[in-house]
Amino acid sequence: MPGRLRGVARRAVMASTATAAPHRVQLRQLGELKDQRVLTETGFEDQKSRILSS
């Protein structure tokens, strides 16, 4: 039974990492746009909230 629980926990971590990776990429790109002054601070915060809530 402990081996099974470890497997379930491992899959849960892998699943959460897989969904977090696209958010990390999007947030990095968003930060780059803000640094390049393509996005305002308000626009950055709005988009960041949208990404994190999805």
> Three-state SS string across 16-32, please?
HHHHHHHHHHHHHHHHH
The first and second tokens of residue 18, run together, are: 């897989």
pLDDT confidence of residue 1 = 40
- Contact predicate 51/28, CB 8 Å: no
What SS3 class is residue 37?
coil
- What's this model's pTM, rounded to 2 decimal places? 0.60
CA atoms 37, 43, 48, 50: torsion sign: negative
What SS3 class is residue 1?
coil
pLDDT confidence of residue 20 = 64
pLDDT digit string (tens) for 2-54?
A: 455 455 545 554 454 455 678 888 999 999 999 999 889 999 999 999 988 88
The first and second tokens of residue 16, run together, are: 């959460």
